[in-house]
Amino acid sequence: MFRAIFAIVIVTSWTVSAFAEPDWNQWRGPQRNGKSTETGLSHDWTVAEPELIWQSKGLGKGYSSIAISDGRIFTLGFLDDKEHLIGLSLENGARLWTVPFGDGDHSNGTPTVDEDRVYAVGLNGDLICADVITGREIWRKSFSEDYGGKMMSGWGYSESPLIDGDHLICTPGAADAVIVALDKHTGETLWKSKAPAEPGPKGKDGAGYSSIVISNACGEKQYIQLTGRGIIGVRASDGELLWHYNTIANDVANIPTPVIWDDFVFCSTGYGTGAALLKIQREGDALSAEEVYFLDANVFQNHHGGMIRVGDHLYAGHKHNQGFPICLELTTGNVVWGGNKRGPGTGSAAIVFADEHLIFRYQNGVVALIEATPTEYKLKGEFAPAFQDGNSWAHPVVYQGKLYLREQDSLMCYDIAETP
């Protein structure tokens, strides 16, 4: 249900496909920034709406997005009184296998695929590693039983685990294990990060609803995460806490994944909080997060649905649970356009970037194409999907000229390639 969001322009060790276009093998794509490198997509949906190619059913209840790798799709859903990790055919969405692994009544997270294995976190903190071909369980962990894990509030874990080299990085949210690193092959615990001893007055203890990203700010490889008490950065080699920033935290739900580039971190939360640009600074061996600016909630706040950095600008849905299209200048925090127009849909907006355009998927199901330009707000068309059920919170995915929309029990595949 809650997914938040971030951009990352760094060299990492994430595994990607050898194809010209890398597989969408994890939350928000191969670099976890919501950006596809594909071209040749339609730039005008007013002439012809995207065509539905197929619709798959039997995925159960949940807001999980999808991961794609080597001809297979992976997602989570609540089926037969259990959370399941699900494998589907990329060709037609046919269900290949399911494996029960969690006790939640729906699913929020998105699986992560690495080589011949797929990893996922369930609503109650059940972590599973399974074989991509058969779904056979290889190992599992429990955030609560193994680490004393805790969520800041009661909507359940929403994390998509990060694979970095031979390590799996995730966020149980415990005081002595806010972030942990595991051996991705065996599930053995390699290190545990302690939460800040003096985190600040805002927010609540425990994990937030975000997913971890990698930064090399100030030449120090680090994992950055939005937790219940705000943003933290921990050293990648041993999990040592490097810095934290509390002001962005709220007491209800901290959701959007941070946007990362160079020495900068842009973060935002809803519930009347706002947004901030941080610059990571070094003094000797110590790192700190300097607040460059803070934007009040009436200027910019991203509740959930994500934020995308394109060059010197940031695009997102603004206002708490509203998704008003907006473009910010990142260096100053100035609003370039938008923020005061609802757009064609209602409610929050989950977004993805592809071929110089943004795809907004609104909470009421409406999907809009918006040009990613700071010049002005340019709506290039919209359509209502074939199926909509409740809140359309699952993040859209663009892969090989197709748009994938998870909608509770269904997954829809649309052709968005440019017509010859």
Taking only the tens place, the pLDDT of each residue in 281-329 is 999 999 999 999 999 999 999 999 999 999 999 999 999 999 999 999 9
pLDDT range class, residue 8, cuts 50, 70, 90: very low
Domain contains 60: yes
Structure tokens at 233: 């950065």
Mean pLDDT of all residues belonging to the chain: 94
Q: Span 159-181, mean pLDDT?
A: 98
Q: How many residues does the chain have?
A: 420
Q: Span 194-218, mean pLDDT?
A: 98
Residue 11 is predicted with a pLDDT of: 33
Task: Decide: 97 and 106 in contact? Cβ < 8 Å.
Answer: no
Pairing of strands 189-193, 213-215: unpaired
Residue 9 is predicted with a pLDDT of: 31
3-state secondary structure of 217: helix
Domain extent for 250: 8-415
3-state secondary structure of 15: coil
Domain contains 92: yes
Res 341 pLDDT > 80: yes
pLDDT range class, residue 3, cuts 50, 70, 90: very low
pLDDT range class, residue 18, cuts 50, 70, 90: very low
Prediction pTM value: 0.94
pLDDT range class, residue 4, cuts 50, 70, 90: very low
Res 177 pLDDT > 80: yes
Domain contains 136: yes
Give me the sign of the Cα torsion angle 415, 418, 419, 420.
negative
Res 6 pLDDT > 80: no
Query: How confident is the model over 180-198, as pLDDT tens digits?
Result: 999 999 999 999 999 999 9
Domain contains 383: yes
Q: Span 45-55, mean pLDDT?
A: 96
Look-up of token digits 């055919």:
89
pLDDT range class, residue 21, cuts 50, 70, 90: low
Domain contains 420: no
Q: How far is CA 413 from the centre of its chain?
A: 20
CATH number at residue 324: 2.130.10.10
Query: How confident is the model over 374-388, as pLDDT tens digits?
Result: 999 999 999 999 999
Task: Decide: 281 and 287 in contact? Cβ < 8 Å.
Answer: yes
Res 10 pLDDT > 60: no
Domain contains 1: no
Domain contains 2: no
- Please count the structural domains in the chain: 1
Give the DSSP letter of residue 261.
E
Domain contains 3: no
Query: How confident is the model over 74-114, as pLDDT tens digits?
Result: 999 999 999 999 999 999 999 999 999 999 999 999 999 99
Question: Around 87, how many Cα atoms within 13 Å sit in the side-chain half-sphere?
Answer: 21
3-state secondary structure of 351: strand
Residue 420 is predicted with a pLDDT of: 79
Residue 14 is predicted with a pLDDT of: 35
Distance CA 366, CA 369 (A): 10
